[in-house]
Each structure stands twice: as structure tokens, then as C-alpha cells.
């Protein structure tokens, strides 16, 4: 019989932690909405370009912004579900306690990285808001596109902290 939480474990790294309190289906639903919007505007642009030989100007700006949102939501879901990228060749062969320490160390490095991305993204977004930067294609305030970087970095940081707590509390 399989473990009750085996579906959230990384392949080969069984640390025995509990599942996340907030299920990653939240990020999945938001990513599905972003993906649907991306598919819809891209499909509309293809149709308009096919029938009129003219493309919508806004599709590239919105598509890039939606892809960044998708990447950040996917990263948050990966950390929440313990599916983030890592090499487990050595940690699979270590005792459980040592593997836990290494996992917490790697999560700490990831926490610092995404904390810095969030901090610098917030400074960048503030500068774009303060200097009233406009997007080149549509003339929309540029901060509307970049605000998602620090916001979703906070979500990723929270997922990493939650994962660190679950790994530390694991028996």
C-alpha cells in the first residue's frame, strides 16, 4: 500500500512531510485562467491576421505578461507540491536526517533568490509607476505588467517557507 501523501513527494526523496495547508490547486486554477486568456488572445490574433492581414497590436504585450505570470504561478505550485527542479542522485542515498538538512538548505537558497527577485521587482515596479513609464505598443502604464513579479514572488516565498516548515517538522 502506498503512503497517504506519496503523491506530493519528490521522486526518490521521501521526507515524510505533511501536504500543504493551501492546496496547489489555487495556483493551478489561476494558471488555467491565465492560459485561457493567452490562448484566446493568440487565437483571435491568428484569425484576424489570417482574414485581414493585420494583427492586433496588444497581443504581444499581453502575451508576454501572461507568460511571466504563468511562469511564476508554476514555480509557486512546484514548490508547494514538492515538484521543483533538483538533482537527487546524492540525497537519495543519504540518511533521511541528512537529506532533510540539505533540502532545508536548498530551500533557504531558493527563499533568498525569490526574496531578491520580489524586492528588486518591487523597486522596478515603483520606478515605473513613479516615472509614469508607458508600454511601447499600447501606451498602457508599464507598472501594470511588472507588478505581478513582486506579488507572485511573495506567493513563491510563502510556498517555500511552508515547505521548509513541513520538511523541518517531518519525523
Model confidence at 73: pLDDT above 50: yes
Q: What integer pLDDT is reported at residue 15 of this predicted model? A: 61
Model confidence at 79: pLDDT above 80: yes
Q: What integer pLDDT is reported at residue 94 of this predicted model? A: 85
Q: Work out the pLDDT band at 85, boundaries 50, 70, 90.
A: confident
Q: Domain ranges for the chain, please list them.
A: 22-169
Alpha helices by DSSP H, the chain: 25-52, 58-80, 96-130, 143-146, 148-169
Q: Average pLDDT in the 78-100 region?
A: 83
CA distance 68 to 123: 18
- Enter the C-alpha cell of residue 95: 540518511
Q: What integer pLDDT is reported at residue 1 of this predicted model? A: 45
Model confidence at 170: pLDDT above 50: yes
How do residues 5-58 score in pLDDT, each as one tens digit?
444 445 434 566 677 778 888 899 999 999 999 999 999 988 988 889 887 777
b/e per residue 131-149 (b: at least 16 CB within 10 A): eeeebeeeeeebbebbbbb
Q: What integer pLDDT is reported at residue 115 of this predicted model? A: 98
7 or 155, greater pLDDT: 155
Q: What integer pLDDT is reported at residue 13 of this predicted model? A: 47
How many alpha carbons fall within 13 Å on the CB side of residue 65? Answer: 17
Could you tell me the pTM of the whole model?
0.84
Q: Average pLDDT in the 71-87 region?
A: 87
Q: What integer pLDDT is reported at residue 169 of this predicted model? A: 85
Amino acid at each position: 500500500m502506498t503512503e497517504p501523501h506519496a503523491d506530493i513527494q519528490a521522486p526518490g526523496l521521501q521526507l515524510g512531510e505533511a501536504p500543504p495547508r493551501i492546496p496547489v490547486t489555487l495556483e493551478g486554477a489561476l494558471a488555467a485562467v491565465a492560459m485561457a486568456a493567452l490562448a484566446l488572445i493568440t487565437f483571435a490574433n491568428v484569425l484576424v491576421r489570417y482574414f485581414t492581414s493585420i494583427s492586433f497590436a496588444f497581443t504581444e504585450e499581453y502575451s508576454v505578461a501572461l507568460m511571466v505570470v504563468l511562469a511564476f504561478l508554476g514555480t509557486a505550485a512546484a514548490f508547494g507540491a514538492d515538484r521543483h527542479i533538483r538533482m537527487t542522485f546524492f540525497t537519495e542515498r543519504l540518511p533521511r536526517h541528512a537529506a532533510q538538512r540539505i533540502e532545508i538548505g536548498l530551500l533557504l537558497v531558493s527563499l533568498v533568490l525569490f526574496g531578491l527577485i520580489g524586492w528588486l521587482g518591487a523597486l522596478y515596479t515603483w520606478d515605473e509607476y513613479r516615472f509614469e513609464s508607458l508600454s511601447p505598443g499600447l501606451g498602457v502604464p508599464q507598472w501594470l505588467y511588472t507588478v505581478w513579479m513582486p506579488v507572485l514572488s511573495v506567493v513563491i516565498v510563502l510556498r517555500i517557507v511552508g515547505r521548509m516548515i513541513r520538511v523541518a517538522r517531518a519525523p
